[in-house]
C-alpha cells in the first residue's frame, strides 16, 4: 500500500527560490542534497536582516548592535541545544562545520592518548572522520583499527566486538554513510564502547537532515554536524560534547574570546563554551543555523522522514529496472537501514560521464568517490553516481531523472 505524503510539497517548494531557476535551459532538478541542501527564503531573510540591521561583533560590545547580535547568537545556541536535547547550552560548541568539530576533538585527545592506546573507526567513514584520527595516531603512537563492512554496505558488528578491549579509548562512526545512505546502529556501537570505557564521536552530517538525534537518549560523548546539510548556510556547524569531556580537552585554538585573563606570564581560559570558540565567530551563520532548525521543525522530522522514504522507494523501484544498473549499499529502501541516498553505476560506464550528461538536462547529481575512497576500494570501483533526495523533491522530478538516466545510458553504451 503506497504511503500518502503528509507534506504539502508544492507549498514547500515555493520557499526555495533556487528551485525556480534553469540549468542549460532546463528546469533545475537538484538531487545533490547529501553534498549540501538548498536554503529556504525564511533562512535567507534572517541572513539579510542580520547584515542589514544589526551586524556587529558579539560578547565584547556595550553598544546596542553588539548586544542585539549577541542575544540572537546565544538564542540560536539554545535552539540548537533544545533541538538535539543536550543537557546544557554550553555543551554546544559553534564550529565551521563537521570537519572542524572532528579536528577539534582529535586535537584535544593528543594530550590524552599514549602509545599502545587504540582507537576504532568504521569502514564507512567520510575522509574527514578518517584523516584526523590517522594524524592523531601519528602524534601519539596510538593504533587505528577499522570496523569492516560487508557487500551490502553494512558494518560487521561481530568484528567490532573483537576489536573492542580495555585499550580502546575512542570510537568514531558516522550516523549515516554519505556514500551509501546506510543508517548505522549507533546505539549499539555507543553502548558497547562505553562497556570498555571508550568515548564515542558520531559524525551526524548526513543524519541531521533526515532524523532528529537525541543526545540524552544516545548517551553519546561527542556529536558533530554542519548547518548547510540542514537548510542552513555553509561555514557553520556544531560540536556537542558532554560537559565532563569538554572540560578535559584543552583549547583547540588560542586567541580572543577563549580566554579569562591574559598576561605574558600565564593565560587562563574561559569557561565553556567559549574555551573552544577563539576569534570572531560566524555570527550570522550561527543565527541562521537556528533559523534553519526552526524551519525544519515547523515541517516536522517524522513527516520529512516518511516522505523521503517514499521518494527512496519510488526511485529505487524504477532504477532497478534499468539493465546493468547496480546499487551499492542497502538496495532495499526502508527507514530502518537506509536514508534517501542511492549510489549506483550502470555497467562499465564511468560515473562522471553519466553525471555530465545529466547536468546537460538540468539534473544535478554527484559523481566520484564522495570523500569515501575506502568504500570505493572495497567495491573495486572508481566511484559512483549518487542521487540524494530531500523533502522538497518530487516524484515528477524522479521521473525526469529516470528518463534522463536512460537517455544517458543509451548515449554512452
Catalytic residues: 371
DSSP label of 32 = B
Buried b (16+ CB within 10 A) or exposed e, 91-120: bbbbbbbbbbbbbbbbbbbeebbeeebbbb
How far is residue 375's CA from residue 382's CA, in Å, rounded to a whole number?
Answer: 10
How far is residue 135's CA from residue 55's CA, in Å, rounded to a whole number?
Answer: 38
Category of 401 on φ-ψ map: left (φ > 0), alpha (ψ -120 to 50) or beta: alpha
Burial class (CB in 10 A: 0-12, 13-18, 19+), 297: middle
How far is residue 175's CA from residue 207's CA, in Å, rounded to a whole number?
Answer: 6
How far is residue 162's CA from residue 358's CA, in Å, rounded to a whole number?
Answer: 44
How far is residue 319's CA from residue 312's CA, in Å, rounded to a whole number?
Answer: 10
Apex 115 CA angle, 110 and 121, nearest 5 = 65
How far is residue 124's CA from residue 310's CA, in Å, rounded to a whole number?
Answer: 25
**DSSP secondary structure of 108-166:** HGGGT--TT-EEEEETT--GGGTHHHHHHHHHH--EEEEE-B-TTS-B-HHHHHHH--T
Contact 174, 372 (CB under 8 A): no
- Backbone phi, then psi, for 26, in 5-degree steps? -115, 150
How far, CA to CA in Å, does 72 sit from each of 67, 76, 229, 413? 9, 6, 21, 55
Which run of H or of E encompasses 299?
helix 283-299
Amino acid at each position: 500500500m503506497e504511503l500518502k505524503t503528509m507534506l504539502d510539497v508544492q507549498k514547500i517548494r515555493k520557499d526555495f527560490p533556487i528551485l525556480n531557476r534553469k540549468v542549460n535551459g532546463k528546469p533545475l532538478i537538484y538531487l545533490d542534497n547529501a553534498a549540501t541542501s538548498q536554503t529556504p527564503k525564511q533562512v535567507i531573510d534572517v541572513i539579510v536582516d542580520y547584515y542589514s540591521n544589526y551586524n556587529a561583533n558579539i560578547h565584547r560590545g556595550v553598544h546596542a548592535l553588539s548586544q542585539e547580535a549577541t542575544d540572537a547568537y546565544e538564542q540560536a545556541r539554545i535552539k540548537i541545544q533544545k533541538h538535539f536535547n543536550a543537557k546544557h547550552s554550553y555543551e554546544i560548541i559553534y564550529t565551521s562545520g563537521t570537519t572542524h568539530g572532528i579536528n577539534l576533538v582529535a586535537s584535544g585527545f593528543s594530550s590524552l592518548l599514549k602509545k599502545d592506546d587504540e582507537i576504532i573507526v568504521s569502514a564507512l567513514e567520510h575522509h574527514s572522520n578518517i584523516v584526523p584520527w590517522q594524524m592523531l595516531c601519528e602524534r601519539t603512537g596510538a593504533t587505528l583499527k577499522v570496523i569492516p563492512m560487508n557487500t551490502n554496505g553494512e558494518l560487521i558488528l561481530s568484528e567490532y566486538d573483537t576489536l573492542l578491549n580495555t585499550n580502546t579509548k575512542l570510537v568514531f562512526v558516522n550516523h549515516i554513510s554519505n556514500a551509501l545512505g546506510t543508517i548505522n546502529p549507533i546505539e549499539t556501537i555507543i553502548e558497547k564502547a562505553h562497556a570498555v570505557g571508550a568515548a564515542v564521536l558520531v559524525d551526524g552530517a548526513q543524519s541531521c537532515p533526515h532524523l532528529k538525534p537525541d543526545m540524552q537518549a544516545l548517551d553519546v560523548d561527542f556529536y558533530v554536524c554542519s548547518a548547510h546539510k540542514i537548510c542552513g548556510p555553509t561555514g557553520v556547524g556544531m560540536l556537542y560534547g558532554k560537559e565532563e569531556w569538554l572540560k578535559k580537552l584543552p583549547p583547540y585554538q588560542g586567541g580572543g574570546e577563549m580566554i579569562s585573563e591574559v598576561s605574558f606570564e600565564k593565560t587562563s581560559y574561559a569557561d565553556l563554551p567559549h574555551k573552544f570558540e577563539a576569534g570572531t565567530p560566524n555570527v550570522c551563520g550561527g543565527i541562521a543555523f537556528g533559523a534553519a532548525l526552526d524551519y525544519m521543525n515547523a515541517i516536522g522530522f517524522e513527516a520529512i522522514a516518511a516522505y523521503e522514504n517514499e521518494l527512496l522507494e519510488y526511485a529505487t523501484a524504477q532504477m532497478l529496472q534499468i539493465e546493468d544498473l547496480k546499487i551499492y549499499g542497502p538496495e532495499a529502501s526502508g527507514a530502518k537501514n537506509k536514508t534517501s541516498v542511492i549510489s549506483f553505476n550502470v555497467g562499465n560506464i564511468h560515473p562522471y560521464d553519466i553525471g555530465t550528461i545529466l547536468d546537460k538536462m538540468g539534473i544535478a547529481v554527484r559523481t566520484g568517490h564522495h570523500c569515501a575512497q575506502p568504500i570505493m576500494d572495497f567495491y573495486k570501483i572508481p566511484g559512483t553516481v549518487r542521487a540524494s533526495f530531500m523533502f522538497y523533491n518530487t516524484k515528477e522530478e524522479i521521473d525526469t531523472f529516470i528518463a534522463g538516466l536512460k537517455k544517458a545510458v543509451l548515449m554512452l553504451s
